[in-house]
Amino acid sequence: MNFDLADLRAFLAVADLGSFRAASENLHLSQSAVSRRVDKLEDALGVELFVRTTRRIELTTIGRTFVHKARGVMNELESALVGVADFAERISGEVSVACVPSAVSYFLPGVIGRFHELYPRIRVRLIDESSSELLLAVANAEADLGLTYIGTQEPDIEFEPLMDDPFVVACTSEHPLAKHKCINWADLASYDHIALAQGSGNRFLIDQALAQVENKPKWFCEVRHVPALVSLVEAGLGIGVVPRLALPPRGKLVSVKLESPALSRTIGIIRRRGRPLRPPAELFQRLLLVELASRDEPRTETPRGKPGRSLPG
């Protein structure tokens, strides 16, 4: 039926107070808005709930029967909401989330903030380490769940893909590359290049992609973690190839699409296989998935739980 709780609330206010004017004052709505909501309820039910005259408003026989049922629905709903709020206030504990540093800024600030509002007594412990370190943290139960790019064949770890994250060229808005929509890897050799160090998972993916590229970019500065690379690029020291999610949403950096070859990584959630999450971790994971579903980023088409190649670092 095409009515909602606001329509029920308007109906009950009119029934209890005996007039649309009193109901509108009680609900802080205009009389016409209250009248429209009651009309909508009557249309949905296919009956008249009130007898309207110029002097008074009275419930019909059907209306008197329905008012008890409507009040019961509202009372049950309010009790349920109180129970949920009480649960959120009472539940406590800790959730440990492992996340590769390059994905922290995209996934976690909004989720952690909202999670703290909903569950103020649950503490969140963030483990921001390399992909290999956080894989061990999840496998050893030091972390409840992890956010990383696909790269495990561990039988005790399951991977749920969330989205594809392409690698891009990061540069300042004043850099000559900033005006390009896309660029080839070979063209990067003409510019000062800051690179990720050997041994990191992202560097491993880049080296694999560039195996057949003859004119590879030559770095003059090397760092271990993506956030450090982004900071140096922001300082105007050169360009760098980074996952798109690692770039700050606002700032002076520009991302340029890479081609020949195009390269991306798959970001997902890792958990211990066959072991249910503890309640605080389950609540955090649900909120994370809700937050991602509200964004426009396309989810990956990688089959759920499909294992991939192990990555170092």
CATH number of the domain within which 270 lies: 3.40.190.10
109-163 confidence digits (pLDDT tens): 999 999 998 888 899 999 998 888 888 999 888 999 999 986 566 788 999 998 8
Residues 28 and 100 grouped into a single domain: no
In this prediction, residue 29 has a pLDDT band, given cuts at 50, 70 and 90, of confident
In-domain check, residue 259: yes
The amino acid at 143: A
Model confidence at 301, in pLDDT bands (50, 70, 90)? very low
**CATH assignment at residue 38:** 1.10.10.10
pLDDT at 303: 38
The 3-state DSSP class for residue 188 equals helix
Q: What pLDDT score was predicted for residue 305?
A: 36
Looking at residue 144, its pLDDT comes to: 94
Closest Cα partner for 220 from 242, 245, 195, 188? 195
Tell me what pLDDT residue 308 has. Answer: 41
pLDDT of residue 84: 57
Residue 313 lies in a domain: no
**Distance between CA 276 and CA 285 in Å, rounded?**
12
User: How does residue 295 score in pLDDT terms, banded at 50, 70 and 90?
Assistant: low
Tell me the one-letter amino acid at 246. Answer: A
How confident is the prediction for the chain on average, in pLDDT?
84
User: Amino acid letter at 221?
Assistant: C
Q: Which domain holds residue 48?
A: 5-89
Share of the chain above pLDDT 90, in %: 37
- pLDDT interval class at 307 (50, 70, 90): very low
If asked whether residues 14 and 40 sit together in one domain, one would say yes
Q: Name the H helices within the chain.
A: 5-17, 20-27, 31-45, 61-90, 101-118, 131-139, 201-209, 226-234, 279-293
Q: Distances from the Cα of 271 to the Cαs of 133, 238, 274, in angstroms?
A: 14, 37, 9
**Whether residue 284 sits in one domain with residue 141:** yes
User: Does 31 lie in the same domain as 14?
Assistant: yes
Pairwise CA distance, residues 223 & 194, whole Å: 8
Residue that wins the pLDDT comparison between 224 and 5:
224
**What pLDDT is recorded for position 176?**
93
- Rounded distance, CA 60 to CA 49, Å? 5
3-state SS class at 271 = strand
Residues 159 and 12 in one domain: no
Query: What does the pLDDT average to over 2-16?
Result: 85
Q: Give the orientation angle of helix 5-17 with respect to helix 31-45, to 10 degrees.
A: 110
125 and 176 co-located in one domain: no
Could you report how far apart the first and last alpha carbons of the chain are, in Å? 56
With cut-offs at 50, 70 and 90, classify the pLDDT of residue 215.
confident
Pair 196, 64 in one domain: no
**pLDDT on residue 313:** 44
Residues 196 and 271 in one domain: no
Residue 284 pLDDT greater than 90, yes or no:
yes
Q: Which residue has the tokens 């504990």?
A: 93
Tell me: do 97 and 235 sit in the same domain: no
The share of the chain scoring above pLDDT 70, in percent, equals 88
CA distance 5 to 13: 12
Q: Is residue 308 part of a domain?
A: no
- Mean pLDDT lowest among 17-26, 71-80, 136-145: 71-80
Backbone angles phi, psi at 166, to 5 degrees: -75, 150
Residue 310 pLDDT greater than 70, yes or no: no
Same domain for 154 and 271, yes or no, is yes
Cβ 137 vs Cβ 280: under 8 Å? no
Mean pLDDT of 174-187: 92
Mean pLDDT of the region 8-27:
87
**79 occurs within a structural domain:** yes
Do 247 and 273 fall into the same domain? Answer: no
Higher pLDDT, 201 or 299: 201
> For the chain, what is the domain count?
3
